[in-house]
Chain A
């Protein structure tokens, strides 16, 4: 079965640089979520989109923005990167019509130097 795809899997950036993370949800899933997991921590919700519209927002810094495109893929844009942004970034998707389970992608591991 198709899973959530995230790219890149690993990313190394310098402070103050920008980064773009991409997510391709499971086909026919209508909701996409972004989570951030710092080292040794539990995942924290950043933002979600339902049918390409922002549906909820968590503790996402103003330096971050996200959107969902017409083909349902989503991008998380991160600017003015800080050392504290180093984390594992997950995208998850779910279908409101087929149950509520969120299926996670493999994550993008971001390291800011």
Chain B
């Protein structure tokens, strides 16, 4: 069974600093996808970034980048130049599939607080 581990329940970061949120995963499949979602206090689940298991380059989306280390089974999210609006819960998730339309398994999340 697949498993996602986020070992940082909470993090406090000074505004404008970079922050790395850790995520490790466990799967026996060769084809899988890794996702990061942001959940502000309002509750919605916002997609941030995706990395496919066969992608050789690390994914980037604006201030977000995914540090993908396949051999270590880690997929850390890096947020550059953090902003007050980045304060939220962040979930790492994995899709374990060859077809692309299968369920996501989530980690327990990291609550990020940006300090002015």
Contacts and interface: CB of A to CB of B under 8 A. Distances in A.
A58 B106 CA distance: 13
Report, as a range, how many residues of chain B touch the other chain. 20 to 34
Nearest to B109: A42
Interface in B85-116: 91, 95, 97, 99-109
Does more than half of chain A's interface fall in helix, strand or loop, or is it mixed? strand
A31 interface: yes
14 contacts: A30-B101, A31-B101, A33-B103, A42-B91, A45-B105, A92-B45, A99-B100, A100-B33, A100-B95, A100-B100, A102-B47, A102-B104, A104-B44, A107-B43
Name the 8 nearest CB pairs between A and B, nearest first.
A100-B100, A104-B45, A42-B106, A45-B103, A31-B101, A96-B101, A106-B44, A96-B100
